[in-house]
Chain A
Amino acid sequence: MTIPLDPTITPPGTSRFRDAGGVPADRWRAVRGEETLVATHCCFCGVQCGMYLRVHDGKVFGVEPRDHDINRMRLCPKGLNAYQQVNHPDRLTAPLLRRSRTDDLRPVSWEQALDHAADQIQRVQAAYGRDAFGMLGGASLFSEKTYLVGKFARVALRTRHVDYNGRLCMVSAAGANKLSFGIDRAANPFADILLTDCLLIAGSNVGECFPVMTQYLWGARDRGATLIVVDPRETSIARTADIHVALRPGTDSAFFSSVLHVVVTEGLADEAYVAAHATGWEEVRQAAAEYPPERAAQICGIPAAQITEVARMFATAPKAMAWHARGIEHHTQGVENCLTVINLCVATGNLGRPGAGYGTITGQGNGQGGREHGQKSDMLPGGRSISDPVHRAQVARIWGIDEADLPQAGTSMMEMVHQMGRGEIRGLLGICNNPFVSLPNYAVVKAGYDALDFHAQCDFFLSETSANAHLVLPVTTWAEDDGVMANAEARVVRHRKAQEPLPGVRTDTWVMCELARRLGVGDKFAFTGSEQVFEELRVASRGTVNDYYGITYARLDETGGISWPCPTVDHPGTPRLFEDGQTWHADKKIHMQAVRWHPPADPYDDEYPMTLTTGRTVAHFLSGNQTRRLGGLVEQTPRPWVEVHPSHGYASGDPVTVVTRRGAATFPALVTDAIRPDTVFVPYHWPYPVAANELTIDALDPRSKIPEYKVCACRIQPAAHVTAVPAPPVPPGHESYAATQVSRGDQHPPTSSQGRGTSEP
Chain B
Amino acid sequence: MMGRTIIIDPGRCIGCQACVSACRECDSHRGKSMIHLDYLDAGHSVASMPTVCMHCEDPLAPCAQVCPAEAILVTPDGVVHDADKSRCIGCGNCVNACPMGVPKIDLKAKLQFKCNLCYDRTSYGLAPMCATVCPTGSIFYGTVEELRAERPNVAVASTFDFGGNLLTTGVAMVVPADRGDVPVPGGVGQPAGPTPGPQPFGSVPTSADNVLGEPL
| Chain A contacts to B: CB under 8 angstroms | 1-20, 25-31, 62-63, 65, 73-77, 79-81, 207-208, 211-215, 218, 222, 234-237, 239-240, 618-619, 632-633, 636, 646, 650-653, 668, 670-674, 748-749, 751-761
| CB within 8 Å for A632 and B30 given contacts A13-B36, A15-B105, A757-B37 | no
Q: How far is the CA of A676 from the CA of B95 in the complex (A)?
A: 41
- List B133-160 residues whose CB lies under 8 Å from chain A: 133-137, 150-152
| Interchain nearest-CB distance for A676 vs B (Å) | 14
When the two chains form their complex, are residues A17 and B16 in contact, meaning their CB atoms are under 8 A apart? no
When the two chains form their complex, are residues A10 and B31 in contact, meaning their CB atoms are under 8 A apart? no
| Residue total for B at the interface (Cβ-Cβ under 8 A) | 72
| Interchain nearest-CB distance for B69 vs A (Å) | 14
When the two chains form their complex, are residues A75 and B201 in contact, meaning their CB atoms are under 8 A apart? no
| Chain B contacts to A: CB under 8 angstroms | 11-18, 20-22, 24-25, 27-33, 35-39, 42-48, 90-93, 95-96, 101-107, 113, 120, 127, 129, 132-137, 150-152, 197-202, 204, 208-212, 214, 216
Could you name 7 residue pairs across A and B whose Cβ atoms are closer than 8 Å?
Answer: A3-B209, A7-B92, A19-B24, A27-B31, A30-B27, A672-B200, A756-B202
Q: Please give, as numbers and ranges, the residues of chain A lying within 8 Å of B92 by CB-CB distance.
A: 5-7, 10
Q: Which of B107, B134, B151, B210 contacts A12 (CB 8 A)?
A: B210
| CB within 8 Å for A674 and B46 given contacts A7-B92, A236-B14, A758-B36 | yes
When the two chains form their complex, are residues A7 and B11 in contact, meaning their CB atoms are under 8 A apart? no
Q: Please give, as numbers and ranges, the residues of chain B lying within 8 Å of A756 by CB-CB distance.
A: 202
When the two chains form their complex, are residues B12 and A218 in contact, meaning their CB atoms are under 8 A apart? yes
Task: Across the interface, name the chain A residue whose C-beta is closest to B11.
Answer: A240
Q: Please give, as numbers and ranges, the residues of chain A lying within 8 Å of B29 by CB-CB distance.
A: 28
| CB within 8 Å for A754 and B199 given contacts A10-B92, A11-B95, A73-B133 | no
4 A-B pairs with least C-beta separation: A7-B92, A652-B200, A207-B14, A236-B14
Q: Which of B27, B107, B202, B214 contacts A757 (CB 8 A)?
A: B202
When the two chains form their complex, are residues B210 and A754 in contact, meaning their CB atoms are under 8 A apart? no
| Interchain nearest-CB distance for B98 vs A (Å) | 8
Q: How far is the CA of A63 from the CA of B36 in the complex (A)?
A: 21
Dominant SS among interface residues on chain A: loop
Q: Please give, as numbers and ranges, the residues of chain A lying within 8 Å of B135 by CB-CB distance.
A: 74-76, 211-215
Q: Please give, as numbers and ranges, the residues of chain A lying within 8 Å of B151 by CB-CB distance.
A: 222
Task: Across the interface, name the chain A residue whose C-beta is closest to B9.
Answer: A218
| CB within 8 Å for A17 and B33 given contacts A7-B107, A10-B96 | yes
Q: How far is the CA of A651 from the CA of B11 in the complex (A)?
A: 27
Q: Please give, as numbers and ranges, the residues of chain A lying within 8 Å of B90 by CB-CB distance.
A: 7
When the two chains form their complex, are residues A751 and B200 in contact, meaning their CB atoms are under 8 A apart? yes
When the two chains form their complex, are residues B104 and A208 in contact, meaning their CB atoms are under 8 A apart? no
| Interchain nearest-CB distance for B115 vs A (Å) | 12
When the two chains form their complex, are residues A80 and B45 in contact, meaning their CB atoms are under 8 A apart? no
When the two chains form their complex, are residues B14 and A13 in contact, meaning their CB atoms are under 8 A apart? no
Q: Please give, as numbers and ranges, the residues of chain A lying within 8 Å of B202 by CB-CB distance.
A: 652, 748, 751, 756-757, 760-761
Q: Please give, as numbers and ranges, the residues of chain B lying within 8 Å of A207 by CB-CB distance.
A: 14-16, 136
Q: How far is the CA of A405 from the CA of B93 in the complex (A)?
A: 78
Q: How far is the CA of A623 from the CA of B15 in the complex (A)?
A: 22
Q: How far is the CA of A218 from the CA of B11 in the complex (A)?
A: 10
- With most chain B CB atoms within 10 A of its CB, the pick from A26, A652, A753 is A652
Q: Please give, as numbers and ranges, the residues of chain A lying within 8 Å of B104 by CB-CB distance.
A: 13-17
Q: How far is the CA of A633 from the CA of B24 in the complex (A)?
A: 12
Q: How far is the CA of A168 from the CA of B188 in the complex (A)?
A: 45
When the two chains form their complex, are residues B25 and A672 in contact, meaning their CB atoms are under 8 A apart? no
When the two chains form their complex, are residues B101 and A13 in contact, meaning their CB atoms are under 8 A apart? yes
When the two chains form their complex, are residues B101 and A653 in contact, meaning their CB atoms are under 8 A apart? no
Task: Across the interface, name the chain B residue whose C-beta is closest to A207.
Answer: B14
Task: Across the interface, name the chain B residue whose C-beta is closest to A32.
Answer: B27
When the two chains form their complex, are residues A11 and B210 in contact, meaning their CB atoms are under 8 A apart? yes
When the two chains form their complex, are residues B46 and A211 in contact, meaning their CB atoms are under 8 A apart? no
Q: How far is the CA of A653 from the CA of B199 in the complex (A)?
A: 10
Q: Which of B22, B102, B127, B199 contacts A80 (CB 8 A)?
A: B22
| CB within 8 Å for A3 and B208 given contacts A212-B135, A751-B202, A759-B38 | yes
